[in-house]
Amino acid sequence: MKLIARSMRPGHITATVLAAGAVAGILSLQAQDKKETKKTAINEEEATKKWMEAATPGAAHKLLDAWAGSWELSCKMWMAPGAPPMESGGTATAAWILEGRFMEMNFKTTMMGMPFEGRAITGYNNIRKTYQSFWVDNMGTAMTISSGKVSDDGKTFTHEAKMDDPMTGKMDNTYRFIERVVSKDEIHQEIHDLSLGKDSKMMETTYKRKK
């Protein structure tokens, strides 16, 4: 051992130590890479599972099945608190889209003597645990997005949304939509402008299933 030590110059000793350290470092990195790969695989598996859970329709979606079908409408609309309502009839059809994830409704009636047509897409957001609905119609260029919940018995849906009033120019009025499933053949809907206080109801619609 003494002969070997004498025959090695200081530079050789340093190089040998560095080489040994490098090898140890590479082995350590390889071991770490294996751990990281395993960890990443587990995280990807968990992430995929959560994604699938979020994307899969469940019992909350099934409650929206009450809307599926063809309907006859009876509508009342109040232009001002205390004023007599304008009344009209109409039709609506609703069906599941995107493999049971969303209920799409086409709504037709008359409003202020003019044809009125609207479309709604409603679903349940598994991540936020809330119902969400998207509405557009032919009497405006605004898109209304509402969110809400259902009662414990699964019969009353309550949504709220911020909407702008084109007649007064007031922005971000809070509107409440209340939909009550009376039976498999009848649904009542109310729309309230909460800025109006106790006389907040501005529209009421009764849906009766076509025979």
Confidence of residue 4 (pLDDT cuts 50, 70, 90): very low
**pLDDT tens digits, 38-54:** 555 668 888 999 999 99
Q: What is the pLDDT of residue 116?
A: 96
Whether 192 shows a pLDDT value over 80: the answer reads: yes
Confidence of residue 31 (pLDDT cuts 50, 70, 90): low
Q: Compare 183 and 23 and report the one with higher pLDDT.
A: 183
**How do the domains of the chain map onto residue ranges?**
2-55, 60-209
Q: What is the pTM of this model?
A: 0.77
Q: What is the pLDDT of residue 91?
A: 98
With a pLDDT cut of 70, the percent of the chain lying above it is: 80
Of 76, 67, 78, 68, nearest in space to 206 by CA: 76
124-170 confidence digits (pLDDT tens): 999 999 999 999 999 999 999 999 999 999 999 999 999 988 888 88
Which carries the bigger pLDDT value, residue 91 or residue 29?
91
Architecture of domain 60-209: Beta Barrel (2.40)
CA-wise closest residue to 132 among 160, 153, 151: 160
